[in-house]
Amino acid sequence: MEKANKNKQLKVLLVNGSPHHCGNTFTALSEVAKTLEEKDIKTEIVHIGNRPVQGCIACYKCREKSFCVFQDEIYLTLREKLAKANGIIIGSPVYFGGPSGSLCALLDRLFYSSGQLAQYKPAASVVVCRRGGATATFDRLNKYFTILYMPVVPSQYWNCVHGRNPGEALQDAEGLQTMRTLARNMAWMLRNLCDSTHPSETEEKLHTNFIRKIA
């Protein structure tokens, strides 16, 4: 995480991974954003939209340029905003027990090509479902963070809110409280880390394969 002065305005980027702009995922993220703003943390919610999103094709060109070869608007927007943010929260509806496919396609490219912009920044995921699949989706999204040295912000429960039709999430009192607790913990973590530098003892990464040729 970039060293910052405690008087500097801190900012959290919230990503709405639902194709519905004002659905229950937006409601959950808005509850987080409102509480962060009360703690004097600036927020911005970015909606990924409902257009098709290109997935990663494993061309590895981003290793040369630190950019994905597919320069679609939502990728460029999130990359720019991630670079400027001090923390990130990613929200997704649950589809077939997992995150939105469009969101995963986007995050695969964003974090693989530009992971250096996210390293050591506090992060969290928020999931919304009608009934089941929340914890599997929560686990899937958190994997983007834990591979990039990003501290995962906790709450009082796993970060899920329940609701199917737009607005039903407002009836989930415990879920919304979990969002508010998450926001307060994010604010606390940001302020405690803002004058810190990341560990200097980082080792060179080792990459091993399970399958090897027999000599």
All domains of the chain, ordered by start, with CATH?
11-193 (3.40.50.360)
How many Cβ atoms from other residues are within 10 Å of residue 55's Cβ?
14
What letters, b where the CB count within 10 A reaches 16 and e where it falls short, cover 107-119?
bbbbbbbbbebbe
pTM attached to this predicted model: 0.92
Residue 101 in tokens? 């496919």
Local confidence band at 214 (pLDDT 50, 70, 90 cut-offs)? low
| Residues 113/66, Cβ–Cβ less than 8 Å | yes
Residue 34 in tokens? 């409102």
Question: Measured over all CA atoms, what is the biggest interatomic distance in the chain, rounded to whole angstroms?
Answer: 63
The arithmetic mean of pLDDT across residues 140-145, rounded, is: 98
Element (H, E) at 89: strand 87-93
Q: What are the E-state strand segments in the chain?
A: 11-16, 42-47, 87-93, 123-129, 160-162
- Model pLDDT for residues 156-183, shown as the tens digit of each residue: 999 999 999 999 999 999 999 999 999 9
Average pLDDT, the chain: 93
- Model pLDDT for residues 29-50, shown as the tens digit of each residue: 999 999 999 999 999 999 999 9
Write the DSSP symbol of residue 203. P
Residue 124 in tokens? 């969290």
Q: Checking phi first, is residue 58 left (phi over 0); if not, alpha (psi -120 to 50) or beta?
A: left
Give which of 113, 100, 188 is closest to 151, Cα–Cα. Answer: 188
pLDDT at 17 over 80: yes
